[in-house]
Structure formats: C-alpha cells, structure tokens
Amino acid sequence: MSDIKEWMLLNKLKLNDSKTEFPKFQPQHQKDLRPTITIGVDVINTSMTAQKGVLLDSYLSFSDHITSIVSLLTSNCISLTALANI
C-alpha cells in the first residue's frame, strides 16, 4: 500500500486512510485467506464492501446485496399500500 500512497502523492491525490478498503475476492472453498493490510496505523480486513450501491462480499455471492434489496423493496411496497388505502 505504500506504493499506492506514494503514487497518489506524486499525482496530487489524497488517500483517506479511514475510508480506504482493500477487499480480496476469492473462491468460497478458500475461506479465511484474507490478508492483513496495514495503511498507516489502521489494519484493514474487509469481508464486504459497497461500491456504487452494490454490496460485494469476498466470495462475490451477492447474497447480502439481494437481502438488502428485498428488505428495501418490502418496506417500499408496504408504504405504497398504506398510501393507496388513504
């Protein structure tokens, strides 16, 4: 990560250590092989990340994303049904 940080500084970019995530995608049969990545003093072990509203886990299963979408849609359908009955 020091190489990335150095490149960003050379290109007048800033790296926000508190928001930086480093997910490692791997097959499901290789569980718990995520490396420990250190940026500054923080240790980052990311098993899930959200990019552009899509939840990605380290196995790219999308199950957490689908669960989140179903919950959101259910809530919105209940709200629309309540409005229709007014």
Residues 60 and 25 sit within 8 Å (Cβ to Cβ):
yes
pLDDT tens, the chain, 86 aa long: 677 778 888 999 887 777 777 777 777 776 665 555 665 656 566 677 777 888 888 778 888 889 999 999 999 999 999 998 87
Could you tell me where the beta strands, DSSP code E, fall in the chain?
A: 37-39, 42-44, 48-51, 54-57
